Amino acid sequence: MLKYVLLIAVAAIGITWWQGHHAEAAAEQASWSRIASELAHRPVSVHCQGIVSAAVDVSPEAGTVQFDASGRPSDHTDLKRDICASLARYPSDRLTPAFACVEKNVPCSSRIFGDVQAVHVLAHESAHLGGQASEAAAECQALHTTAYVATRLGSDRTQAGAAPSSSTRTSTPTCPRNTSPPAACRTSPAKPCARSSRGRVPRSRDPLPPRTSSRAGRRASSRA
The pLDDT, as a whole number, for residue 221 is 59
The DSSP call for residue 97 is G
CB-based contact 131:210 (threshold 8 Å): no
Q: How distant, in Å, are the alpha carbons of 42, 99, 100, 122, 142 from that of 29?
A: 16, 23, 27, 11, 19
The pLDDT, as a whole number, for residue 167 is 66
Its pTM stands at: 0.70
CB-based contact 212:127 (threshold 8 Å): yes
Short-list 68, 42, 7, CA closest to 127: 42
* β 76-79/45-48 pair status: parallel
Q: How distant, in Å, are the alpha carbons of 8, 156, 201, 202, 208 from that of 205?
A: 53, 15, 11, 8, 9
Number of domains in the chain: 1
Please count the other Cβ atoms lying within 10 Å of the Cβ belonging to residue 30.
11
The pLDDT, as a whole number, for residue 24 is 79
Kindly write down the DSSP assignment for every residue of 169-200, as one continuous string: TT---B--TT--TTTS-SS-TTSBGGGGTTSP
The pLDDT, as a whole number, for residue 15 is 59
CA 181 – CA 42 distance, rounded (Å): 20
Q: Give strand pairing partners of 64.
A: 78, 221
- Grouping H, G, I as helix, E, B as strand and the rest as coil, residue 215 is coil
The pLDDT, as a whole number, for residue 51 is 85
Please count the other Cβ atoms lying within 10 Å of the Cβ belonging to residue 11.
10
Residue 163 lies in domain: 2-223
CA 124 – CA 130 distance, rounded (Å): 10
Element (H, E) at 221: strand 219-223
Residue spans of the chain under pLDDT 70: 1-22, 167-224
- Tell me the backbone φ, ψ of residue 64, rounded to 5 degrees: -140, 155
CA 160 – CA 103 distance, rounded (Å): 8
Count Cβ atoms within 10 A of the Cβ of residue 72 and give its class: 0-12 exposed, 13-18 middle, 19 or more buried: middle
